[in-house]
Structure 1
Amino acid sequence: MGVSLSVWLYSRSADSPPSSPSAFCSRAVPASSRLMVILNSSPVSPGDSRSHWSSENRSPHLPLSACKHEVTRSPVERSSDGVRAEKGVKSGLHVWEVVWSPDHRGSHAVVGISRQNCPLQASGYKVLVGGDSQSWGWELKTNQLWHDGQSLKLYPGKRRCCTETIEDYGSLTSPHILTDTKGAKTPLPIPERVLLVLDADAGTLGFVVDSSFLGVAFKDLPRGVELFPAVSSVRGGATIRLRYLNGATRDPPALMALCGLSIRQVLGQQRQNQTDKLPLPPFLQRYLVSSE
């Protein structure tokens, strides 16, 4: 059965239309099997408490929506304002989605993680998430990484070969591909949808943009302490949504999950609804559908 399925899949892979290239594809790095399984699994319910912004740990200039998934910055001047998630994690590999329109970011638009005591309001315009030793942030307009009040480096780094991309559960808004042939230090326009990838066991934070895992942005994060997704903004009217997608323990993924991932990757996004045509028992066909 395994041989016949492999032949069936690869004999049809040429029928899939080529996907559009992304500006981030050349900066993608291979993702771990744990991360690949998470991103190719159905997201948890939107009602999960890990999708909530905190009603207490936020700037007073960031009122919270009734569902707690969204904050909107008030039109105040000379203020930097932040918010962190209601619930953090101490272990495991976890992925959150942050949706933030590029048209409503302005300067000092930062997404990252923090410990419990990260400052969430300050006078003037500055980076809050990453502005102290308790937080780590990615400034979306300049692509700079921030920690302990210091700008560390650009993220993502230099162009790489496009070795692996991730087909996750939804589509992303693709940015315009840059015309800078040198690819040196020109900031990449970051689309509205960014995924935070926090490995609390390994002590690393990375990001997924346009279905491409851009690698580790921060390492040597504190372990065994609660870490929270966090954002900070200075733009009046900026609306920022949070959603927890999924997570995993430090154990290796199940073999069945890895096999399902491989099958869906070969099928491609265009043929995800054709699992009933696979030469598989109905039970396995239903498993592939339920895992999308």
Structure 2
Amino acid sequence: MGLTLSAWLCGRAPGGAPPPSAFLALASPASSRLALTLNSSPVGPGDGRSRWSPRHLSPNFLLSACGQEATRSPAELSSDGVRAEMGVRSGLHVWELAWSPEHRGSHAVVGISRQDCPLQGSGYKALVGGDSRSWGWELKTNQLWHGGCTSECYPGKTRRRRRSVLKPRSSSSATKAEAPLLIPERVLLVLDADAGTLGFVVDGSFLGVAFKDLPSGVELFPAVSSVRGGASVRLRYLNGTTRDPPALMALCGLSVRQYLGHHRQNQTDRLPLPPFLQQYLLSCS
């Protein structure tokens, strides 16, 4: 049966598949735990982990009635942050942050923080990542921040570069500078509290570990900071898993669904499998 299934999956043309994302070339291999989590159905939108905290936020942030959207009021010379109402101490967890690129301005940072991270500061700066109790990714410049310092851009792989303009007949060689990536509206925050790592997923591509050696056993919260009036950030908890290794059946199902691709997820009834397995694949998609 395994050979028959393999032939069926590999013998069908993917016709109608969407063009690959520009972030695909920057993707890093995802662990089996992360791959299963990303391919699992999201929890309900009313989950308590999808709300911003009404107590832990700058006075310049206002929350929607459901608590899932935080909007920064116009304020001069102020950097303002907000963190999620619920944090985690263990397991692997994925949240979705929706923040329109048109309403980010400078110093638009997404990341995680401890409970005692400052959520307001004077001047314009990266507030999340501005101290030792938070870790942030600045979306406009792609810089990583922690302890008030930035040491690199994320993702760190070779990216498209822009060449500086040279004067005619100049003998100097052209210098190259990395052009910051334009990060789309939706970003997935991936916190593995067991491994002590933080990473991000953009356009379906896991961009690798941004921060490692996060504190163990400490409650960590998704957090954002902004300096732009009118900036609105929506939070949604998608899914999570424990430190236990994935079940073999779940890994096999994931492998089949990946071969099928998103455009053929509804064709599981055509697979050369018993109806029980066909239904299992359909329920997991």
Is the TM value for this pair above 0.5? yes
Query: What pairs with 1:213-252 in structure 2 (closer than 5 Å)?
Result: 213-252=206-245
What CA distance in whole angstroms lies between the structure 2 residues aligned with 1:70 and 1:282? 42
Q: Which residue of 2 aligns with 1:120?
A: 119
Query: What pairs with 1:1-292 in structure 2 (closer than 5 Å)?
Result: 1-12=1-12, 14-159=13-158, 180=162, 185-292=178-285
Given that 1:159 and 1:183 are in contact with CA atoms closer than 8 Å, whether structure 2 keeps it comes out as no
Where 1:15 maps in the other structure, the secondary structure is coil
What CA distance in whole angstroms lies between the structure 2 residues aligned with 1:287 and 1:45? 20
What CA distance in whole angstroms lies between the structure 2 residues aligned with 1:19 and 1:275? 20
Code of the residue aligned with 1:103 in structure 2: it is E
Where 1:252 maps in the other structure, the secondary structure is coil
Count of aligned positions = 274
Could you list the per-position Cα deviations for residues 155-176 of structure 1 after superposition, in whole angstroms to 9, with x for gaps in the alignment? 001238xxxxxxxxxxxxxxxx
Structure with the greater alpha carbon radius of gyration: 2
Given that 1:110 and 1:139 are in contact with CA atoms closer than 8 Å, whether structure 2 keeps it comes out as yes
Percentage identity across paired residues of the two chains = 74
Given that 1:137 and 1:146 are in contact with CA atoms closer than 8 Å, whether structure 2 keeps it comes out as yes
The 3 A distance-change label for structure 1 pair 63 and 203 is same
Where 2:178 maps in the other structure, the secondary structure is coil
What CA distance in whole angstroms lies between the structure 2 residues aligned with 1:258 and 1:9? 16
Given that 1:9 and 1:267 are in contact with CA atoms closer than 8 Å, whether structure 2 keeps it comes out as yes
Given that 2:81 and 2:224 are in contact with CA atoms closer than 8 Å, whether structure 1 keeps it comes out as yes
What CA distance in whole angstroms lies between the structure 1 residues aligned with 2:48 and 2:237? 8
What CA distance in whole angstroms lies between the structure 1 residues aligned with 2:161 and 2:209? 25
Q: CA deviation at 1:60?
A: 1.2
Higher mean C-alpha deviation, range 141-150 or range 278-287 = 278-287
What CA distance in whole angstroms lies between the structure 2 residues aligned with 1:7 and 1:252? 29
What CA distance in whole angstroms lies between the structure 2 residues aligned with 1:15 and 1:24? 20
Code of the residue aligned with 1:104 in structure 2: it is H
Where 1:63 maps in the other structure, the secondary structure is strand
Given that 1:16 and 1:268 are in contact with CA atoms closer than 8 Å, whether structure 2 keeps it comes out as no
Q: CA deviation at 1:85?
A: 0.5
The 3 A distance-change label for structure 1 pair 61 and 197 is same
What CA distance in whole angstroms lies between the structure 1 residues aligned with 2:228 and 2:275? 52
Could you list the per-position Cα deviations for residues 20-75 of structure 1 after superposition, in whole angstroms to 9, with x for gaps in the alignment? 13221221111111100000000011111111110100011111111111011112
Q: CA deviation at 1:283?
A: 2.0
Code of the residue aligned with 2:40 in structure 1: it is S
Code of the residue aligned with 2:126 in structure 1: it is V
Code of the residue aligned with 1:217 in structure 2: it is A
- RMSD over aligned CA atoms reads 1.6
Code of the residue aligned with 2:276 in structure 1: it is F
Q: TM-score, normalised by structure 1?
A: 0.90
Code of the residue aligned with 2:265 in structure 1: it is Q
Could you list the per-position Cα deviations for residues 217-271 of structure 1 after superposition, in whole angstroms to 9, with x for gaps in the alignment? 0011000010000000011111100111111111111111111111111111111
